[in-house]
Amino acid sequence: MLSSMSSKPNILEQWGISVEDLSRAILENGSLRGMVFGYVAEIKLRKLLEANNDVSFVVKHDDHDRKRKGDFRIVYKGQEFLLESKSLQSNSVRHLPDGSWRGKTQVDGSDRRKVKFADGSSLETTLLLLGEFDVLAVNRFAFENQWFWLFALNRDLPRSSFAKYTPAQQAGLIASLVKVTKPASGIFKSDLFVLLDSMIAKGDGSR
């Protein structure tokens, strides 16, 4: 069953502040702005997921649960998938003369943890692993101040090229920065459910 956000309290009334007060707090504190924006993006993504009649279940994972990567676990056409939500880095965004856009998204975790690899090695890192989630969802709001999303399969994301990592470590770790463009190109697609359908067709659904 899909959950409803309508029962949540009005935080402005609860705190006794105005929209202007909240806007000022966010705009005057860069770290707060980034944090709030990330969580608002998750709300927007959740609404997109819940609007699809083939999505029967959506749950947001606890941000502090280091063992469970992926921001959302969903059930789509009876199959389970994990989605990781990310935003563009504002300082990476460029509007090019031909009208196109380019930027980068930082694809890593907030906490360092120890991970193991196929060659028997291990290391502590914030980088995310191949297979830890199914789909990367990147909002491109920073391009034109509009809520549009681009999606890429985990298996298609670039791997780390850090020279001090072993080949097995490089192959198992997703690069910390991933390029994003408008129009969408390369690994990114604008329709999440087309990607999920392709996974189901190949037998890659369900965890």
**Coil, strand or helix: which one is 64?**
coil
State CA 124 to chain mean position distance: 22
Q: What is the pLDDT, as a whole number, of residue 185?
A: 87
Quick check: 65 pLDDT over 80? Answer: no
Q: Which helix (H) or strand (E) holds 2?
A: none
Domain range summary for the chain, segments of one domain joined by +: 11-201
Give yes or no for residue 66 having a pLDDT over 80. Answer: no
Structure tokens at 163: 């020279």
Q: Measured in Å, how far apart are the chain's first and last C-alpha atoms?
A: 19
What value, to the nearest 5°, has the Cα angle with vertex 31 and ends 26 and 35?
Answer: 75
- Beta strands 72-76 and 79-87, pairing class: antiparallel
Flag the least confident range among 9-13, 23-27, 50-54, 79-83. 9-13
Q: Kindly indicate the confidence band of residue 6, based on its pLDDT and cuts at 50, 70 and 90.
A: low
pLDDT of residue 1: 46
29, pLDDT greater than 50? yes
The fold of 11-201 is: Trna Endonuclease; Chain: A, domain 1 (3.40.1350)
pLDDT digits (tens, 9 = 90+) for 156-176: 999 999 999 999 999 999 999
Q: Provide the edge-to-edge strand list for the sheet that holds 72-76.
A: 55-60, 72-76, 79-87, 135-139, 149-153
What is the DSSP code string of 147-179? Answer: --EEEEEGGGSPBP--TTS-HHHHHHBB-SEEE
Picking from 42-51, 67-76, 90-99, 188-197, which range would have the lowest pLDDT averaged per residue? 67-76
Render pLDDT for 72-106 as a digit per residue (tens, 0 to 9): 999 999 999 999 999 999 999 999 999 999 999 99
- pLDDT range class, residue 70, cuts 50, 70, 90: confident
Average pLDDT, the chain: 91
In the beta sheet, which residues pair with residue 85? 137
d(CA 118, CA 129): 12
Mean pLDDT of 36-46: 95
pLDDT tens for 114-159 read 999 989 999 999 999 999 999 999 999 999 999 999 999 999 999 9
